[in-house]
Structure 1
Amino acid sequence: MKNNLKLLAIPLTLLTSSLAYAAVPYQNETYPFKQPNGDTVIITLNGNTYFAEQRAANGKLVIFDEVLNGMAYAKVSDDGKTLQSTGVLVTKANAKRLARAEVGQLEQVSKTLVKEHIHTAKQNFFAETADVNAQLVEPSAISGTVKGLTIIIDFPDARGTITKGQVESFLNDLNYSEFGNAQSVRGYFRSVSGNQLDYTNTVTAYYTAKNNKAYYADSRYSSTVRSQELIKEALNWLENTQGFNFASLTTNGSKQIRGLNIFYAGASDSSWSKGLWPHMAQLSPRFCADGVCTDRYQITDMGNSLAIGTFVHESGHLITNWPDLYDYDGTSQGSVASFGVMGFGAIGDTNRFKPTRPVAPLRATAGWDTVTELNPALNANAPSGRLTHTAASNTSYKWSNPQNTQEAFYIEAIHRAGQNSEQPDQGLAIWHVDPAGNNSDEWHPYIQMEHADARRDPENNRNRGDANDLFDVNGEFSATLPNALTSKGTNSLWWNGNDSGLAISGVSDPAATISFDLGAVEPPAGEVYTGYLNNKQQAIQPNGNWFQYAGGTIKATLQGPAGADFDLKLEKWVNGAWQQVAVSESPTSNEAITYSASNGYYRFIVLSYSGAGDYLLNVNK
């Protein structure tokens, strides 16, 4: 079952008004919720800020019922479009009342419907927050000393149990291990940046809220209503009572505070996305003092202990504008999966105490890596032959697209040691980067991990990375290896299907330093055919004819119009009829075929599955 059914029951206005545009991932995370009758029920959560699947201890799906003011068992609406309350609260007495058959019908909710709801919600949201979103999708370089602010808050009826000193150590100490953490937040960023970023936080004294905790944690309100009221209370207290100098904090070019963090005492005591539920958003209206203003913030509960994972992940958004690297719509686990802190590398039993490093492309945008361009078309002095890379060295290689330098392959060694000890695998990592990609398109994300086993398990929702994903022990990566498919395979083709010319072989065994052979070749020019297709039309190439081929490898790439879905087929004349021998049918108009042909007569079919426009077919024989 996809982890997205909860979104169907949420009005789109909730998502668009919350200004929450960076999501925290949840994986089998449990939280206690106190019901109106006094029962405390344990809810298991999977999902993120945009959607979440919530289940009671008996495995049944639940939803917050605003009329009953509590968690109720859920059912699918009569039209099959939303998840609704059954009107039966989750209590000890009701635990066995709902039959599992009622839960089973939820499995029939259309995946397409789910994606349509999410797409609409995100479109509306991003349209209303275009300026803020522009900051998110354009990661920025950052180094030197960065000073953030962490406000700690308790309540008249719920006093803080974690001291200010403990929070300061959690954030700033360079030798830190309390609560099971391997290092502090500051220590993490110093480590992964190669000591180029020193991120510290000023921690306030406890601010005691004006109201009891239940007022702010009221699950009848979205998470940005009472929590933002609480944050504004605390900011006004800092300004008017404490005389805090907000100008001492690091700001961006618009004089907006980069790191604004709020910790409050105890648990959230709220349903998912409600009340005081932990989240990141933009403070509206903004608070200004001493010539600077607020922008984004993160707020979370302290509970009984502190783990740096979520704080580090959200700081990646706040101070570097890194995007999330997992699939928001829940139809996959993304591509980076658990191999990076902005994927799932900051959650779970061990990763939350020792989050993984940011992947090479993100370190490069932050200015922390020395990046060597390997493509001789862009670097006349590019190294070649046998190359080496050392993990955690703040260096990386890249092979960029001369026609679109935003697109590139990044190459780095990953070794399971130190900060990376919780990685699912070790070996040579290859990342395919394209800012035109989309988080929720598992087959063309912003950063695609080139899985060495070619299974694409995270994209197919099988796992969040495993021990076969990195290249090692004579591993090979080229235009056809380890998988020749363009849309769902793993290879060095550009996203338009053209051969990048990148070829890697002879990868050494996993170790701190990995060697590999760079055997790049210039892609052949090939034969080029162009044309125009109307919707559902097809064309025969070359030029409406067939060709005779003595045998060998036939490679063909198709570039069609954006927004359409063009497909490519190769046919052979067999026993007096044309027979399909190869096909490329991705959901886009960029297709590629590699076929080992015997002697015979062949032709290509270019067809429009949907949409119309110009196309270009490149054939190499």
Structure 2
Amino acid sequence: MYRFIKLSIAPLAIISGLTQAAIPYQNHRYNYTQPTGEIVSISVEGNDYFAYQRARDGRLVIFDEHLNGLAYAQVSEDGQNLLSTGVLVSKKSAQDVKQNDRRTLSQTAIQRKIAQAKNKLLGQQQLKNNGQTTNHNDVSVQSTGKIKGLTIIIDFPDFPGTINKTQVESFLNDLNYSEFGNAQSVRGYFRSVSGGQLDYTNTVTAYYTAIKNKSYYADSRYGSTVRSQELIKEALNWLEFTQNFDFSTLSVNGNGQIKGLNIFYAGNSDSSWSKGLWPHMAWLSPQFCADGVCTDRYQITDMRDSLAIGTFVHESGHLITNWPDLYDYDGSSEGSVASFGVMGYGAIGETNRFKPTPPVAHFRNLAGWDTVTELNPAINNNAPSGALNHISGSNTSYKWTNPSNQNEAFYIEAIHRSGQNSEQVDQGLAIWHVDSRGNNSNEWYPYIQMEHADGNREPENNINRGDNSDLYDLAGEFSATLPNALSSKGTNAQWWDGRDSGLIIRDISDAAQSISFTIDTDATPPSGDIYTGYLANQEQAIVPNGSWFQYAGGTLDMALQGPSNADFDLKLEVWQGGRWTQAAISQTPTSNEVITYQANSGYYRITVYSYSGAGNFSLTLSK
């Protein structure tokens, strides 16, 4: 027996994880039928949370609720909103609207719209079900063995499906699949990138024919979750009461919620971006429960007249493994990982939508698919050094972890244009700088940063989505000073707090299936005393342990790491004239602060304080 459970919506928390789950669009084009009957072609650049829509001539477009159609848009004088000009997009009206397309929204406006969209689509990230809180932000969920998802195919009384059930089953489950130009099925992709450790299949329903005609659900006067969720609930009720479907056969997470709920509907979306039946991922509210399990997140998309696995694979990365997006939502960059990983743009290009790139080494490790070797002798007493090699696609990787912050590390792997990596834009040795406190929309402190071999940081500077000079090959070197001088913006072997990680990679061989390189045995890993604690908003803590220390003189190195959504500062004080006097201070608008101080003999203490925000901190003191 089914039930729909009404759930309270918690305020959106700005944290890394599944608050970051949106479909990316790159030069995506769709046709829209205006209320006049004219069909106009519209391009979309962005994602579910924020996108610019443009007409064929490049002018901005917005849905006008009063006109019930797409109108030319202009940016408001304060740069905060797109406003309709009141003129419907049409070839006939091309000369009627003053061109105002060079102006775009301010970054603060874009960030506000992204937050609003996240709250609308994913705001129920801390749902309470039977007294349990659902954590959708745990990216460390392992995904091995057999996982069974559900794919519901839907058509409409006035729009029958043209892609049959057998074709959808093959698209999802066949191990030898090539229809519509795909190089593999969805199941084939996950078996490949997991080294056979994940077998993700889907039960495909017969066609459910919706109660109402397609135009009812595709009505662009409603946001994408309104009529879409009405349609999904119809289909779930049909499965339960008419088809007697056993929902307990599906794989669930630790809270008994279905991992892979997918909806395919016939034809195009027939809606404006973010409206009607526009493809998206969201939480189903209220929850549907039957046979002892409940719904959680879902993805819904149009079948059109062909199927490409890229978007389905990308969204499954959210649904079944909890991986976050790695591209930049606000459009200020192309993200650091760019096209080199499936959770960036590695599933939506002209070729990789048919054969997506693998997840980066860190995500494979989290899923339990890679054997990872720790190289930092400060972490692993038996760490290998000297000449090493790595084989592309071998489900192994190396990592160099920060002793002061176990959530920060450099991952190292070979990428060769063969096998699952055949659609990569470059080949060579890839180095990923991972820090779970980073944010994908902050290009200068992302969750995962590619350490670009050319040092140019072109994706971060919004120039491209990766090119053939981004991976390390013959004569490349990676250290605290190479490949460039942008130490404050990464692309060197420094921790985000500015300290030298001690990692040096040199003697890299030419790009090949197997790449050799040398870990410099002369590298001395940083050392020091580590102090941790928690600060409430505008609270302070004295280090060490609420007291002071005596120092004979020399260099004092202090490195503070705090939460990315707060501003913590660092101050060194010396006892002089019967009171504590400031010796040095670091006050950047972040929680990562560094002080290097040439100290005389004396008594010292360190103050860590919150200028704004709260959270855990780690302070490393080296003498």
For 1:324, the equivalent position in structure 2 comes to 325
Report the CA distance between 1:79 and its aligned residue: 3.8
| Matched length | 564
Match of 2:106 among 105, 110, 113: 110
% same residue: 67
Alignment of 1:440-455 (within 5 A): 440-455=441-456
Q: Distance in 2 between matches of 1:94 and 1:555?
A: 69
On the 8 A contact 1:245/1:290 being kept in 2, the answer is yes
Q: What is the distance in 1 between the residues matched to 2:87 and 2:560?
A: 54
Match of 1:333 in 2: 334
Alignment of 1:528-567 (within 5 A): 559=560, 563-564=566-567
1:251 aligned partner: 252
Aligned to 1:483: 484
Whether 2:308 is the aligned partner of 1:310: answer: no
Letter in 2 for 1:588: T
Q: CA deviation at 1:556?
A: 7.3
Deviations 1:475-529 (A, max 9, x none): 111111112433213111111122211111011000000000001522466999x
2:428 matched to which residue of 1? Answer: 427
Q: Which residue number corresponds to residue 3 of structure 1?
A: none
**1-side partners of 2:591 and 2:201: how far apart?**
47
| 1:305-335 deviation per Cα after TM superposition (whole angstroms, max 9, x unaligned) | 0000000000000101111111112211111
Matched, 1:161 2:162: yes
Inter-partner Cα distance in structure 2 for 1:471 and 1:62: 42
Residues 1:243 and 1:335: Cα distance change in structure 2 (over 3 Å): same
When residues 517 and 269 of structure 1 are mapped into structure 2, their CA distance, relative to the original with a 3 A threshold, is same
Letter in 2 for 1:110: S
Aligned equivalents of 2:314 and 2:181: distance in 1?
A: 18
TM-score using structure 2 length: 0.83
Q: Provide the C-alpha distance between the structure 1 equivalents of 2:487 and 2:587, rounded to a whole number of angstroms.
A: 9
Once residues 590 and 227 of structure 2 are traced to their aligned partners in structure 1, the CA distance between those partners, rounded to angstroms, is 43
Give RMSD over aligned pairs: 3.6
Check the 8 A contact 2:404/2:618 in 1, yes or no.
no
Deviation at 1:591, TM superposition (A): 6.0
After superposing the two structures, state which structure 1 stretch, 519-528 or 140-149, moved more: 519-528
Shift of 1:363: 0.3
Structure 2 match to 1:494: 495
Name the residue aligned to 2:6: none
Deviations 1:14-67 (A, max 9, x none): 999xx9851011011000000000001000000001101000011100000111
SS of equivalent residue, structure 2 residue 29? strand
Tell me if the contact between 2:393 and 2:419 (Cα under 8 Å) persists in the aligned partners.
no
CA distance in 1, matches of 2:215, 2:319: 28
CA distance in 2: counterparts of 1:412 and 1:57, whole angstroms: 42
Cα distance in 2, alignment partners of residues 386 and 190 from structure 1: 31
Displacement of 1:612 in angstroms is: 8.9
For residues 523-557 of structure 1, give each alpha carbon's deviation from its aligned partner in whole angstroms, at most 9, with x where no partner exists. Answer: 466999xxxxxx9xxxxxxxxxxxxx9xxxx9977
| Residue identity opposite 1:98 in structure 2 | V
Give the letter for the 1:213 counterpart: K
- More divergent stretch after superposition (241-250 vs 310-319): 241-250
The 3 A distance-change label for structure 1 pair 617 and 283 is closer
Alpha-carbon contact 1:137-1:323 (below 8 Å) kept: no
Counterparts of 1:504 and 1:162 in 2: how far apart (Å)? Answer: 51
Q: Is 1:54 equivalent to 2:53 in the alignment?
A: yes
- Structure 2 equivalent of residue 285 of structure 1: 286
Cα offset, 1:130, TM superposition: 3.1
> Secondary structure, in 3 states, of the residue corresponding to 1:389?
strand
CA deviations on 1:120-163 (whole Å, 9 max, x unpaired) are 76579877533588323423101111111111000010010001
- Structure 2 unaligned segments of length 5 or more: list them: 1-9, 128-132, 531-537, 539-553, 572-585, 597-607
Deviation digits for residues 573-608 of structure 1 (CA, Å, limit 9, x no counterpart): xxxxxxxxxxx99753546799xxxxxxxxxxxxx9
Asked if the contact 1:15–1:121 (Cα under 8 Å) also holds between the matched residues in 2, the reply is no
Shift of the 518–585 alpha-carbon distance from structure 1 to 2, 3 Å rule, reads farther
* CA distance 1:377–1:235, shift in 2 (3 Å): same
Deviations 1:263-321 (A, max 9, x none): 00000000001000000111111111111111111100000000000000000001011
CA distance in 2, matches of 1:585, 1:505: 35
Note if contact 2:11-2:123 (Cα within 8 Å) is conserved in structure 1.
no
Cα distance 1:80–1:382, how it changes in 2: closer, same or farther (>3 A)? closer
- Other-structure match for 1:438: 439
SS state of the match for residue 269, structure 2? Answer: coil
Q: Label 1:207 to 1:126 Cα distance change in 2 as closer, same or farther (>3 A).
A: closer
Conserved? CA contact 2:529–2:622, under 8 Å: yes
2:524 pairs, out of 501, 518, 522, with 522
Q: Retained in 1: the 8 A contact 2:324–2:343?
A: yes
Report SS of the residue matched to 1:440. Answer: coil
Q: SS at the partner of 2:420?
A: helix
Q: Does the residue aligned with 1:93 lie in a helix, a strand or coil? A: helix
**Partner in structure 2 of residue 25 of structure 1:** 24
TM-score, normalised to structure 1's length?
A: 0.83
Larger deviation, residues 489-498 vs 350-359: 489-498
Q: 1:453, CA displacement in angstroms?
A: 1.0
* d(CA) in 2 for partners of 1:77, 1:14: 28
- Pairwise mapping of residues 24-103 of structure 1 onto structure 2 (< 5 A)? 24-100=23-99, 102-103=100-101
Taking the aligned partners of 1:503 and 1:172, their CA distance within structure 2 comes to 43
Q: Which residue of 1 aligns with 2:383?
A: 382
Structure 1: distance between partners of 2:526 and 2:201: 52
Counterpart AA for 1:66: E
Q: 1:124 to 1:306 in 2, by over 3 A?
A: closer
Residue of structure 2 in register with 1:372 after alignment: 373
- Listed one character per residue, the Cα deviations across residues 245-267 of structure 1 (whole Å, up to 9, x for unaligned) are 11111111111111111000000
- In 2, the alpha carbon distance for the partners of 1:510 and 1:173 equals 33
C-alpha contact (below 8 Å) 2:139/2:321 kept by paired residues: no
Structure 1 unaligned regions, length at least 5: 1-12, 529-534, 536-548, 569-583, 595-607
1:275 aligns to 2:276 (yes or no): yes
Cα 1:261–1:589 change in 2 (3 A) is closer
Tell me, in whole angstroms, the C-alpha distance in 2 between the residues paired with 1:253 and 1:483: 45
The question of whether the paired residues in 2 share the 8 Å contact of 1:32 and 1:40 is answered with yes
**In 2: Cα distance, 1:303 partner to 1:401 partner:** 47
Is 1:129 aligned to residue 125 of structure 2?
A: yes
Alpha carbons of structure 1 residues 80 and 558: separation in structure 2 relative to 1, 3 Å = same
| Separation in 2, partners of 1:215, 1:264 | 14
> 1: CA distance between counterparts of 2:503 and 2:246?
53
Q: Does the aligned pair in 2 maintain the 1:259–1:315 contact within 8 Å?
A: yes
CA distance, structure 2, for counterparts of residue 286 and residue 374 of structure 1: 45
Q: Which amino acid is 1:147 matched to?
A: K
- Pairwise CA distance, 1:75: 1.2
Residues 413-422 or 90-99, more deviating: 90-99
Q: Which residue of 2 aligns with 1:145?
A: 146
SS class of match (1:225): helix
Distance change (3 Å), C-alpha of 1:161 and 1:588: same
Matched residue, 2:549? none
| Pairing 1:588–2:590 present | yes
Which residue is equivalent to 2:355? 354
| Structure 1 residue 118: Cα displacement | 3.5
Aligned partners of 2:73, 2:223: CA distance in 1, in Å? 19
Measure the CA separation in 2 of the matches of 1:143 and 1:128. Answer: 26
Task: Give the distance between the partners of 1:256 and 1:589, measured in 2 at CA.
Answer: 36
Map 1:200-219 to 2 at 5 A: 200-219=201-220
Provide the secondary structure at the position in 1 that maps to 2:137: helix
Paired AA for residue 278 in structure 1: P
Q: Measured at CA, do residues 229 and 527 of structure 1 come closer, stay the same or move farther in structure 2, by a change above 3 Å?
A: closer
Contact 1:496 / 1:558 at 8 angstroms: preserved in 2? yes
